[in-house]
Amino acid sequence: MQPHTIIGAGGAIGTPLAQLLLEQKQAVRLLSRSGRALAGAESRATDVFNLPELTEAVRGSKVAYLLVGLDYNTKIWQEKWPVVMQNTIRACAVTNVPLVFFDNVYMYGPVEGKMTEETPFRPSSKKGEVRAKIATMLLDAVQRGELKASIARSADFYGPWADEKSMFYQTVFKNYAEGKKAQWLGNPDMPHSMSYTLDCAKGLALLAGDPTSFNQTWHLPTHNPPPVPKDLIQLVAKDMGVPYKGVQVATKTITRLIGLFVPIMREMVEMIYQNEQPYWFDSTKFEQHFQYQPISYEQGILDTIAFYNLKKG
């Protein structure tokens, strides 16, 4: 049986995707530098920066998923993401393996109204410029007929497995679990879509299994309309059984000051624009094509709390 090969195994999306595919009785091959293992899956220690090694690891796959996660650092992204994308394109092209690339929305920049698959690339951040560059690399390769590939985008995500990579988990769920006040970067009264990790994993598997989905861009299933963060934070407090004491807001100025001492916060400054205006991620195309209903935020919060066993009440 040809394996589904996950380039960049582990993490908030790769782990539930691998588990889902195994539950579906699919063969799964995990590629990571560490050779991360998962019961029932084949694991290979693979350096994505080594093209011959990556090519051999991808060879024979039914489909490959690009889920590599680099350190959240602009300089690293500028230096390494183009290499990751170029190597992945070449490896999949040579081996004739279709590719599904898990992407974000940084390349869109500030958007008035809904973000859709047709939203043009107008990045307003250095990280957004990197994401626009690598997405364009893949789209151009598809246009040239080098490989079959789909781009699958998500909004900011939350849910099971999304702890280190989810700002919502770090500033709300984790803070409440530690007896601290909830925090939010930017304006907590601005509507803000969030994609649920398990919806993303299911979405990737559905795209990979549908031959008609390739050579297109898709927004992964995300419940709409977008919620107001302050309302979600109150819901988390209620479901965790902790008192809601308002939200500690980190403005751009405050975030920049914190960044003098906390490097990750310094990296967040240029992205705060996403939280200063309505952030509406529309996944109508996916939902209609696959007749898929994304999980509600109410249920997603309950399931996240249960997954991490965070309930205090």
SS (H, E, C) 57-74: HHCCCCEEEECCCCCCCH
Q: What is the pLDDT of residues 29-76, one digit of tens each?
A: 999 988 788 999 999 999 999 999 999 999 999 999 999 999 999 999
| Residue 142 pLDDT greater than 90, yes or no | yes
Residues 160, 162, 164, 166, CA torsion sign: negative
Q: What is the pLDDT of residue 255?
A: 78
pLDDT band at 312 (very low <50, low <70, confident <90, very high): low
Cα–Cα distance, 7 to 31 (Å, whole number) = 5
Mean local confidence (pLDDT), 243-254: 88
Residue 241 neighbours by CB distance under 10 Å:
12
Cα–Cα distance, 122 to 26 (Å, whole number) = 38
Q: What is the pLDDT of residues 261-299, one digit of tens each?
A: 767 778 888 999 999 999 999 999 999 999 999 999 999
Tokens of 207: 């795209």
Q: What is the pLDDT of residue 262?
A: 66
Q: What is the pLDDT of residue 164?
A: 80
Q: What's the pTM value of the predicted model, to 2 decimals? A: 0.96
Q: What is the pLDDT of residues 181-235, one digit of tens each?
A: 999 999 999 999 999 999 999 999 999 999 999 999 999 999 999 999 999 999 9
Mean pLDDT over all residues of the chain?
94
Q: Are 54 and 88 in contact (CB under 8 A)?
A: yes
pLDDT band at 311 (very low <50, low <70, confident <90, very high): low
Q: Are 158 and 223 in contact (CB under 8 A)?
A: no
Tokens of 223: 């419940």
Q: What is the pLDDT of residues 71-102, one digit of tens each?
A: 999 999 999 999 999 999 999 999 999 999 99
Residue 111 neighbours by CB distance under 10 Å:
18
Cα–Cα distance, 271 to 133 (Å, whole number) = 17
Q: Which domains does the chain have, with CATH numbers?
A: 4-156+195-219 (3.40.50.720), 158-193+224-279+296-308 (3.90.25)
Q: What is the pLDDT of residue 264?
A: 72
